Amino acid sequence: MTAVKTIDIGTDRPEARFAAAFERNRPHILNGRGQPLAEKRNRALDRFLELGFPGPRDEHWKYTNISKRLERPFEIAIAPAVPELRPQDISRFLIEGLEGSVVVLVNGVMVPGLSSIATDGPVIVPIMDAIGNPVFDRHFGRYADADDAVFTALNTAFARHGLFVHVNRGVKAGTLHILNVTTGVRDTFLQARHLFVVDPGASLTVVETHAGVDAEGMFLNAVVEATIGSDARFDYYRVQDDPGTSAVTGTYVYQEGASYASCGTVTLSGGTIRNNVAVLPDAQHCESHLTGLFIGSGEMHIDNHTLVDHAQPDCFSNELYKGVLDDSATGVFNGRVLVRRDAQRTNAYQSNKSIVLSDKASMNAKPELEIYADDVKCSHGATTGRLDAEGLFYLRSRGLTTDRARTIMLQAFVRDVLDAIAVEPLREVLERAVENRLAK
Amino acid sequence: MLDIQNLSARIDDFEILKGVTLSIKPGEVHAVMGPNGSGKSTLAAVLAGREDYEVTSGTVRYLGRDLLEMEPDERAREGLFLAFQYPVELPGVSMSNFLKEAVNSVREHQGKEPLSAVELLKMMREKAALVDLNPDLKKRSVNEGFSGGEKKRNEIFQLAMLEPRLAILDETDSGLDIDALKIVAHGVNQLRGPERSFLVITHYQRLLNYIVPDVVHVLVDGRIAKTGDKDLALRLEEEGYDWLREETIAAPVG
């Protein structure tokens, strides 16, 4: 077994606390299960210590001061406390009319008593129980990387909670709702890790929601990996509505030939939120859709970084992110589209629009298109502005109060992002949630 | 109904209305004509409550209340309607949602029950027919993708839906061909009644062949230069506005 290298990072830096926690829990984390995973974990911790948390001078974190968030003396929860919840405690976080499986994770830990797994759905296993499964071992840690390597490395080193979901060839696995509830905890650092393997010709929809009850000062470092076989379809939605949690999330989707993948990210509440979504269509005729909706108020900070890496010809990608920022909220959108030299006949589109409602709120939008192929159709557009004064006056001239007119205009503004949600019960729940959030 | 006394207003440093006096009784249709830049649309904007304009002097009483003290939306709920010269497109706001919000804002203000979805649709079908608008417009976004003529007919359609006490038509005829003009005028005529007044602002006499006014005012350089009956409009059509400019200039001297 490789020993953890001694890297002097100073004891006062947050990285040191993680290293110490890793040492303390080494037997627990590695747990004697399978040498390959233990090596992956050790390598990941080394990588984490080498990289260190990003500072404000780090280009990828320029607008998101994550180090400041991490200065808090978090309890690094290898085995978080799981308060007992009754079904009625979580019923309001369920999605009415959504059919399929529900897995409830309380403070990151799966609670079978609250979960219900459809017999004809996908195979769902907590990741620690999946170790040794050849499919899990083959794919775990293979896709999550990219620019936010430090958080991925930290997650790979520590994560014990989360799901391995496997859909066998040709199976239409329906919808899986992963409900994350943080409750009864504060100042705790949680890590979650999912791996979705969708075999050729199969399909899976995952709706992952985050909610919080009586939880404060939380930090979540979540990593999702998905590998989508040829002619398969994968739809993934993440809905963040956990006011006591700051988060860094990474969603990494690998696509094989003629597969379809969509990633929708909706942020309604939270502290400092950074979402990384990276899609790699690695064969011909793939289709990829990235959508995002963020509504910031108070002191919220919402940063969406996306990457669509077109490595192969004849693929299509479309990206639509919209945000509304009020009070002192800040937003960031960084959308990178890479069209590599061989990716001829790529169609890649990106649009990012934000409305800033107050003088203190702000938005930083940065599209990054890098095109190395010559026969492509690519476009991007980014706008940030105020609500249209003419539209507001028109509505008021028909009897609507200023507040109502504003709500109607904002709802109209976000409509196309909500319309892009293919899961109807989720769309309906979000329409109501968004209306409530936008109403003054 | 409406009593405007010596109204002056400016935008930035430009004095546009320079003492307009005009009074409309219930059921009357008044036309305001005038050359470009005379202040016609400013008058409509000030009455509707557009905030870009500053009223520098004068009073406006509406149904016995100080209109200028009221917010634009309150004016609307009190039964004042402006048909826009340039109707605004609202992408993502469906016609049916827009009308539900508008009609029920007014109804709530009047202490009436809100209309149900079914009642609203029935009303929309009836009123759309007045101006020959396609009844399946309910799913379309407000004014988005509407032709110029459809936008103007949509204004009259909204007028019909909201059943105001006083309707101001700001150059509703501009950009309309003769057939569309007749449709719009027909719609307006259907909506005339003893309790409803109209202020019809127009550059051309043509509209007044179809919406026959009780009183015609001519606005020149921010003042009412002349008031008369419908024949005044015909004279303006033949002779233009120049003779009025001379009269206005001559008047203070004489």
- Provide the pLDDT for residue B254: 36
Phi, psi of A87 (to 5 degrees): -55, -35
Residues making up chain A, counted from first to last: 440
CB contact under 8 A, A398 and B50: no
Cβ contact A398–B141 (<8 Å): no
CB contact under 8 A, B72 and A393: yes
Is B140 within 8 Å of chain A by CB? Answer: no
Residues of B in contact with A390 (CB under 8 A): 88
pLDDT tens track for A88-136: 999 999 999 999 999 999 999 999 999 999 888 899 999 989 988 999 9
pLDDT tens track for B119-128: 999 999 999 9
Contacts of B73 in chain A (CB under 8 A): 396-397, 399-402, 405
Q: How far is CA A1 from the centre of its chain?
A: 32
pLDDT in tens, A11-70: 567 888 888 877 787 776 665 566 777 888 888 888 898 899 998 788 889 899 888 888
* Model pLDDT, residue A96: 94
Average pLDDT, integer, range B99-108: 95
ipTM: 0.94
CA distance B151 to B157: 10
Q: Which two tokens stand for residue B28?
A: 């009357």
Taking the Cβ of residue B92 and every Cβ of chain A, the question of whether any pair is shorter than 8 Å is answered with: yes
CA atoms of A1 and A20, how far apart (whole Å): 18
- Residue B250: what pLDDT? 52
Residues B105, A400: C-beta atoms closer than 8 Å: yes
CA dist., res. A250 & res. A236, Å (int): 12
Using CA atoms of A212, A215, A221, A227 in order, give the dihedral in degrees to the nearest 10: -20
Closest Cβ opposite residue A412 in set B81, B93, B102: B93
pLDDT, position A12: 67
Residues of B in contact with A394 (CB under 8 A): 84, 87-88, 90
What average pLDDT does this structure show over B107-133? 93
Minimal CA separation from A417 to chain B, in Å: 11
Average pLDDT along chain B: 91
Query: Once rounded to an integer, what is the mean pLDDT over residues B16-29?
Result: 94
The answer to whether A393 contacts B50, with C-beta atoms less than 8 Å apart, is yes
Q: What is the pLDDT of residues B134-166, one digit of tens each?
A: 877 878 999 999 989 899 999 999 999 999 999
Provide the shortest C-alpha distance from residue A408 to chain B (in Å): 7
B112 shares contact with chain A (CB less than 8 Å): no
Q: Which residues of chain A have pLDDT under 50?
A: 1-10
How close is the nearest chain A Cα to the Cα of B101, in Å?
A: 7
The residues, any chain, with a CB within 8 Å of residue A15's CB and separated by 6 or more, are A9, A48, A49, A52, A53
Q: Is B46 on the interface with A (CB under 8 A)?
A: no
Orientation angle between helical segments A14-30 and A149-158, nearest 10 degrees = 40
Q: Which of A325, A322, A17 is nearest to A158 (CA)?
A: A17
User: How far A6 CA sits from the closest chain B CA (Å)?
Assistant: 58
Q: How far apart are CA A349 and CA A146, in angstroms?
A: 21
Q: Could you tell me which residue, A89 or B245, shows the higher pLDDT?
A: A89
In 3D space, the residue among A192, A223, A330 whose CA is nearest the CA of residue A267 turns out to be: A330
Task: Compute the nearest-CA separation of A96 from chain B (Å).
Answer: 23
Which residue in chain B has the smallest CA separation from A396?
Answer: B73
Enter the pTM of the model. Answer: 0.89
pLDDT greater than 60 at residue B100: yes
